[in-house]
Structure formats: structure tokens, C-alpha cells
């Protein structure tokens, strides 16, 4: 059976060039980067080379890049680190109602410690209104955190505009760019951000490695204490092979990102336009144009997304019903509910996320299979009425 992987928003295949770049740092150049003898200096240089590549890619200084274990740690570092370091200034944080759980759950944790968190609504396309951000600011606001693009519905937020508001009010601004980094242009100055979260495994790098951009002069508290690694920002011996792989993945993205995005946009639009002709009673979730090139999120009336996903799996197609971090939950997506969908429609959602290896014939195959799956499930569903 053929296998078509359309869950690249959850994770991507590690690029073979990335694997090749990593291999020597497992057994040949295995020294601790913190050691000062010559054997380890080569290892330290490899770490700094990767840091330079990543910094250059987002228009930052290499000293502003702190390696972490991934996007979740980067988000936690940004929110808790700013909250703890700036509590004497205020205790209010502004975020959106559709953030990833790596932002939502740290916010809930901070609320238990006495912080105020304002969860701003989004419109039916998943867009946050910058005016709502401006109106939510008080003298106690210390941080604004709004994701660059949503992991479920793909909507790209007006980050630069929100960042300008934050800067005018001298408030730190963080964006979770895990879904956009390496897929669409990300420049920290253009976006007006002070902190930006990244993860390697979303752009064909290894799992377990990410980074947080921290603008120079930002007052932030470390969460992991121990040694002096990462300019005393994040203790722990560096994961050298993964860092090298992260740098290589960014290097590859820098050469092909725009072409990949153009091709994915064409395939995405072809799928959406064709499937709406073939299947009735469905709706596209997320902004029709201000969305990630590889994201398709559709709700199907009268059937559950999990049933669609399992039936597609039997046909060799890997897809998802939303975020991989909440795929085991029976609750409907908080993102889709925030967009105004009913519980029924939210439960009936399917997310397809294309990768750089997705071919036109892959999309054609899904277009052929999906209507049959939907027809079969609706025929059995007591909820669907023609």
C-alpha cells in the first residue's frame, strides 16, 4: 500500500542531509563544548556555526539565540521567564484564545501564581484584532504573546502590527513561530518581536531541539539552573548532534523555502477548490488567504474527524484532526470553538498539512479517496441529514 504523509504540521521527516551532518557528532566529535582543550573546541565551533546560521536566518545576532529542547520549552521560557523577571513592574499578560497548549498551559500555571492573563478572542477566520490588543493593555501589562500562525487552521496573524503596539507601550512581545519558521519569511525586526520560539522538527530537522530568540536587553529569568551554558540562560550540556542538525535544516530551508511555499500553495488551493466541488456540507476553517501555504483544515457536517482520519489511514493516508499535542483528547479543538464552530462541526474537522515532498499525484489520490470515505461515514451517521 502506498503511504501519503499529510501531517507535516505535527512533525516532518528528518532530511537525509541533516542526518549526515549530525552523525560525526555522535561518535567522532563527541567532546563537551564547555571543555577548553582542542578536541572540544571543534565541537564548540560546530554549535556556534549552527547558532550563526539560525540567527542570520531571522535577522538576529547570534548572542540572541538560546538553544532549548524544542518549541514547548521555548514558549515556557518566554512566558515564565518574562513573568518572573518583571513581576515588580506588573502581573498582566495578554495572549489569544487560539494559542498552542505550550502557551495556554503556562498561562494557566501563571494564573495560579497570581498573574492575570487576558485571552483575546479571534474572528471567524481565526484572526486577532490588533485594536483588541491595544485596548487590553494596562499599566500592569508586562507581556503580549500571540502566535505567528496557528498550528491547526493555519491563519497567519498580524504580528508586525501587534508588535508595533507592544513597542509603543514598552511591553515585551513574544511570538510562537514554530509553524512559520522555515516555511515563510520570519525576521525579528520586521515582526517587531522581543522573543520568538522555534523548533527544528517542523522543518525537517531532528526532534528534541529548538531555540528561543531573546532580543538584547530583554529582562528574563532562566528556568533551568546549573552550569553556565547558553550565556547562563539555559543550563545543561548542549545537545550537539541535534544543534548541528538544526543548523543544517535551516541552511536547507534558506535555499528552498520560497519555492516550496509556492508549490504547496498551488497544491493546497487545488485540493480546496476540487474537494468543495466533490463534497457537500463542508467548510474551510481558517483564513482563506492569510494562511500557511501547507495548511488545509476542513469540517464535515454529520461525521467525526477521527473516523475520517482512521478511514484515510486504512487507505495509506496520514492526516490529523488537529494538534498532535491534543490528539488523544476527546474534547473538541479549543481553536475551532474559538472560531465559533459548534461542537459538532469542531469534532468533524480534518487537518491536512503538506510537506516539501508532497506531490501533485498525492493530492490527486486524496481527492479521489476522501469523498468515498465521507459518503460511507455519512451513510452510517444518525447525525447527518441530507
Q: Give the residue numbers marked as catalytic.
A: 325
Alpha-carbon distance of 345 to 287, in angstroms, equals 17
**Residues sharing a CB contact under 8 Å with residue 80, sequence separation 6 or more, in sequence order:** 106, 109, 110, 221, 223
User: Where does the chain show beta strands of DSSP type E?
Assistant: 4-5, 65-68, 92-96, 116-120, 141-145, 172-176, 195-199, 210-214, 282-284, 295-300, 317-318, 349-353
Question: Which residues is 143 bridged to in the sheet?
Answer: 93, 172
Type and span of the H or E element at 254: helix 240-278
Question: Which residues is 198 bridged to in the sheet?
Answer: 211
Burial class for 88, CB neighbours closer than 10 Å (0-12, 13-18, 19+): exposed
Question: Which residues is 175 bridged to in the sheet?
Answer: 196
Alpha-carbon distance of 333 to 326, in angstroms, equals 8
Alpha-carbon distance of 339 to 44, in angstroms, equals 46
Length of the chain: 386
Amino acid at each position: 500500500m502506498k503511504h501519503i504523509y499529510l501531517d507535516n504540521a505535527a512533525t516532518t521527516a528528518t532530511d537525509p542531509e541533516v542526518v549526515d551532518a549530525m552523525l560525526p557528532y555522535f561518535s567522532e566529535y563527541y567532546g563537551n563544548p564547555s571543555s577548553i582543550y582542542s578536541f572540544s573546541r571543534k565541537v564548540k565551533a560546530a554549535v556556534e556555526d549552527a547558532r550563526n546560521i539560525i540567527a542570520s536566518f531571522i535577522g538576529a545576532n547570534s548572542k540572541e539565540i538560546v538553544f532549548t529542547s524544542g518549541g514547548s520549552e521555548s514558549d515556557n521560557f518566554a512566558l515564565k521567564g518574562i513573568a518572573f523577571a518583571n513581576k515588580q513592574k506588573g502581573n498582566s499578560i495578554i495572549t489569544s484564545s487560539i494559542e498552542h497548549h505550550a502557551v495556554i498551559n503556562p498561562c494557566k500555571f501563571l494564573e495560579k501564581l497570581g498573574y492575570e492573563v487576558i485571552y483575546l478572542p479571534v474572528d471567524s477566520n481565526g484572526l486577532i484584532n490588533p485594536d483588541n490588543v491595544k485596548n487590553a493593555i494596562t499599566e500592569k501589562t508586562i507581556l503580549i504573546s500571540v502566535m505567528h500562525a496557528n498550528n491547526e487552521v493555519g491563519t497567519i496573524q498580524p504580528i508586525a502590527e501587534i508588535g508595533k503596539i507592544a513597542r509603543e507601550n514598552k511591553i515585551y512581545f513574544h511570538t510562537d513561530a514554530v509553524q512559520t519558521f522555515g516555511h515563510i519569511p520570519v525576521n525579528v525586526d520586521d515582526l517587531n518581536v522581543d522573543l520568538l520560539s522555534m523548533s527544528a522538527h517542523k522543518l525537517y530537522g531532528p526532534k528534541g531541539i529548538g531555540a528561543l530568540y531573546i532580543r538584547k536587553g530583554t529582562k528574563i529569568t532562566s528556568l533551568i539552573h546549573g552550569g553556565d551554558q547558553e550565556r547562563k540562560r539555559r543550563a545543561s550540556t548542549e545537545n550537539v548532534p541535534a544543534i548541528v542538525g538544526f543548523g543544517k535544516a535551516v541552511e536547507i530551508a534558506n535555499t528552498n523555502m520560497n519555492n516550496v511555499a509556492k508549490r504547496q500553495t498551488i497544491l493546497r488551493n487545488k485540493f480546496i477548490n476540487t474537494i468543495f466541488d466533490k463534497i457537500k456540507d463542508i467548510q474551510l476553517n481558517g483564513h482563506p488567504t492569510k494562511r500557511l501555504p501547507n495548511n488545509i483544515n476542513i469540517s464535515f457536517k454529520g461525521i467525526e474527524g477521527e473516523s475520517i482520519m482512521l478511514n484515510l489511514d486504512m487507505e495509506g493516508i496520514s492526516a490529523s484532526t488537529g494538534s498532535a499535542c491534543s490528539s488523544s483528547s476527546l474534547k473538541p479543538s479549543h481553536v475551532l470553538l474559538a472560531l465559533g464552530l459548534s461542537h459538532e462541526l469542531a469534532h468533524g474537522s480534518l487537518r491536512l498539512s503538506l510537506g516539501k515532498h508532497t506531490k501533485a499525484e498525492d493530492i490527486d489520490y486524496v481527492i479521489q479517496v476522501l469523498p468515498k470515505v465521507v459518503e460511507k461515514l455519512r451513510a452510517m451517521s444518525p447525525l447527518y441529514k441530507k
